[in-house]
Structure 1
Amino acid sequence: SGLFFCRYTLKTIFNQLTMSGSGIQVDTYVSTAAQNKYEFEWVINNFSVWLEIAGGEQFSAKFPYNTNGKEQWKLIFLPKSQKDETFCSLFLHMVSPLEIQDKLMVTFDFILVDSNSCVIHSVSRTANYAELKAWGRHDFFERNVLLEKVKPADKLCIKCKISTKSEIVNETVQKCLKPLAEPLPSTLSKDLQSLVDSDKFGDVTILIDGHRFLAYKGILSARSVVFAAMFNHELLENLESCITITDVEPDVFKQLLRYIYTDEVASLETIAQKLYTAADKYAITTLKSLCRNHILEKLNWGTAAETLMLAEMHSDHEMKERALEFLSGHETGKVTSTTGWKKMFRTVRYKR
C-alpha cells in the first residue's frame, strides 16, 4: 500500500508591508486546503473457494496502517448482496472519528484486477462521509461473471484509491526582505565640472586677459539671458565663435563658469564681491543671491563700507539696508578709518 500527502496552496495571499530597522517585513497569509490520498490492495487467493465458504460481511484490514489517529478506512465485501444475491457488494467504511468537521469530502475508486493485472471492473464515486459511515454499491458485480473473470488463476485483487479533502489550514508566514541598496549618488556636477577644467570641448571660445576658456553656447544661454542675447547678436566675434571679455578677472570668470555648469561655487571667501558683480552683469540671479548672503554673513566693521558701496553700485536695496543697519550700531571711528570707507568717500555720492 502507498500513502502520500499533498497540499494545494490557494493563491489568496495577503501581503502587509511594514518598515523595520533592517528592511521590509512581509507578512504572507497562506490558506491551504489539505488533501490526503491513499491506495490499498486486498488480494484474495483461491477466490472461488473463499467466495463459497465466506458468510456475511467480510472485512479487509484497516488502512492506512499506523495513522496515529488520523483518517483510517476498511473495505467491506459481501459475497451475496442483501438486495440481490446474484451480485456481490463492496463498500468503503470510515473507521476513524472526524475530529474537526462534521463531514468529509471523499472521492474513491474501486478496481477489480485479475492475476494478469487486467482490470475486470471499476467504479468511481464522490461522497460526503459522516463519522463511521460506509459508501459503496450493493450491485457492485455479478457473482458468476466474477468467478469466470478470475479464471484460471482464481485470484482476485481489489484495489481502492481514496482522495479526501480535509480542513483548510491558515497560517501567517513572516519574512524580512533586505533593504534596497541606496542609489548611487549623482555625478552630474562632477562630470560637468570636467568641462570647465577641459580645454578640448566647446563651441565657443572666451578670451580673458590672455586666458582661454572653452564653453557651450547652449548651456551659457540657458543659464544667462545676457549670454543668450550675446550669442543671438550677429557680431563678428559670434560668427567666429570667439568672444573677448575685459571686465571680469580670469579666476572670477572660471568660478562663474563653474556655477553655470554645476550650480556649485568655490572660493567665496576671497572673491565673493567680484563674483557678485559678475553674476549681476550676466543676470545669474541665483549666484548673485548666493554671493549676497555670503557677503552679509561675513559683514564686519572692516568690510561694511565696501559692502555699502557695492550695494549702491548695483542698486541692491537689501544689501544696502543691512549694511546701513550694521554701520549704525558700530563706532564711527572704526569704520571711517578703514580703506573701504575712504574709497567710498572718494568715489560714491551717497544719499539715504
Structure 2
Amino acid sequence: MEPTGTNDGETYVTSVRKTEYRYTWVINNFSVWLENVEGEQCSPQFPSGEQESVKWCLNFYPNASMARGDEKSCSLFVELVSSPKGKESATLEFTLADANGNPILRKTCKHEITVKSNWGWNDYVSRDNLLEKVKPVDTLVIKCKITVHSTIVNEKLLKTPKPLPSSLAKDLKTLVDGDNKFGDVTILVAGQRFPAHKCILSARSSVFSAMFEHQMQETIENCVSIDDIEPPVIEALLRFIYTDELASLETMAHALYKAADKYDVPTLKSHCRCHILEKLSWETAAETLMLADLYGDLEMKKHVLQFLSGSVAAKVTETDGWKEMARACPHLVDETIRAMASQLMSQK
C-alpha cells in the first residue's frame, strides 16, 4: 500500500502498527526433564485469556532428529496456534538463559507463519553444551519475543490549532484612537485634549509616574498641561506609550527624541536616535551634533564626530546648521576640529 499524502490541505500518515508478544518458559530440573521426555514438548499457549484472537506456543524438541535435525542437538520453534487472518508476519527472537538470567544463546529470524505451522531452528543448540550451561541450578529459561508487523493504518493527522496572534497593541490602540471614556487624566496641548490613563502612563514613563504619585497640581486636577511640545508630537508619544507603534519618524524624529527624553521613555528615545543616525548627512550633521550635546547623548555625539571627521567636513561647514552651531555652540566646532585632526593623524 502506497503512503497517503496531502489532499485539500489535509495531512495523512501511513503507519504499520506492531504488536509485541513476550513469553518466558522456565524448566526446572532440566537434566532430569531432558532424559524423561520424548518427542515434541509444547509450552502453554500465550497470550492467555479467551479474548485474545492471536495465540502462540513454543515447540521444544529434546532430540533434534525428531525435527529433521542432529540427534545431539535440541530444536526450538514457535507455532502460530490461531489468527483471524490465518497468518502473521513476525520477527522472532529466542533467548536461552540459566536460572540467574545469564544468556546462553540468542537467535533472531523474520518469517511469515501460517496457522498450525511453526518456524525456528532444527539444530538450535547442542544438548551437551546446554546441559553444561544450566549448571549448577539445573534450570533452563527460554525467553521468546515475537514482534508482529501486520496492520497498515492510514490516519488523518490532526493539526493542533494555533492560538490567535496577540491583540494587545491593537486593543490598547483603541484607548488612544477611541472615545476613551475610561480615561482618568487629560493631556492638554495647545488647546487640544488627549484623554489618557494614569496607570499606563506611569508604567511606561518614570516622569509621569513621579508626577501622579505625589499631590501635584496635575494629580489634583487630573490634567497635564504641556506648552513646549506640539500636539502631533504628543499624539505620537502617546501612541508609542500605549502600543509601541512608531509613526512619523521621517518628519518628527528630532521632536520625538526630545519628548522621549523629557518624559523618560528610553525605548522611544533609542528608536529616534537610531533613525536620526541612519539618516545622518552633511546637511543634518551640525544640527544632530547640537542635539547630542544638548541632551548629553555621548553615543550619538561620538557617531556624528566620526562622520564629520571624514570627507564630508568641507560640505558641512557651508551649511546653515554649521553656522548656527559656530554661533551658539563654539565648543562643538573645537571638538569637530580635534576629531578631524585625530583622523588625519591616524591615517599617516
CA–CA distance in 2 between the matches of 1:309 and 1:317? 12
Amino acid paired to 1:185: P
The match for 1:34 is: 53
SS at match of 1:34: coil
Instruction: Give per-residue Cα distances to partners, 1:29-72, cap 9 Å, x unaligned.
Output: 25495369xxxxxxxxxxxxxxxxxxxxxxxxxxxxxxxx979x
Q: How many residue pairs are counted as aligned between the two chains?
A: 212
CA–CA distance in 2 between the matches of 1:28 and 1:258? 57
1:264 and 2:245 are equivalent in the alignment: yes
Identity %: 51
CA–CA distance in 2 between the matches of 1:186 and 1:319? 34
1:322–1:99 Cα change, 3 Å: closer
Q: Confirm or deny: 8 A CA contact 2:186 2:194 kept in the other structure.
A: yes
Larger proportion of helix:
2
Q: Confirm or deny: 8 A CA contact 1:256 1:278 kept in the other structure.
A: yes
1:24–1:216 Cα change, 3 Å: farther
The match for 2:267 is: 286
Task: Give unpaired runs (5+ residues) of structure 1.
Answer: 1-20, 37-68, 72-97, 104-166
Q: Which has the larger radius of gyration?
A: 1
The match for 2:254 is: 273
1:219 and 2:200 are equivalent in the alignment: yes
1:176–1:283 Cα change, 3 Å: same
Q: 1:303 aligns with which of 284, 295, 298?
A: 284
1:24–1:190 Cα change, 3 Å: farther
Written as runs of structure 1 = structure 2, the 5 A alignment for 1:1-352 is 23=11, 25=13, 27=15, 29=17, 31=19, 33-34=52-53, 99-101=114-116, 170-201=150-181, 202-351=183-332, 352=335
CA–CA distance in 2 between the matches of 1:264 and 1:177? 39
**So what's the TM-score if we normalise by structure 2?**
0.54
RMSD: 3.1
Instruction: Give per-residue Cα distances to partners, 1:251-273, cap 9 Å, x unaligned.
Output: 11111101110011111000011
Q: Confirm or deny: 8 A CA contact 2:282 2:313 kept in the other structure.
A: no
Instruction: Give per-residue Cα distances to partners, 1:141-198, cap 9 Å, x unaligned.
Output: xxxxxxxxxxxxxxxxxxxxxxxxxx97732424241534543322221221121123
1:99–1:337 Cα change, 3 Å: closer
CA–CA distance in 2 between the matches of 1:331 and 1:29? 74
The match for 1:93 is: none
Amino acid paired to 1:29: R
Amino acid paired to 2:175: L
Larger proportion of strand:
1
How far 1:314 sits from its partner (Å)? Answer: 0.8
Instruction: Give per-residue Cα distances to partners, 1:71-95, cap 9 Å, x unaligned.
Output: 9xxxxxxxxxxxxxxxxxxxxxxxx
CA–CA distance in 2 between the matches of 1:278 and 1:216? 18
Q: Confirm or deny: 8 A CA contact 2:19 2:148 kept in the other structure.
A: yes
Amino acid paired to 2:232: D
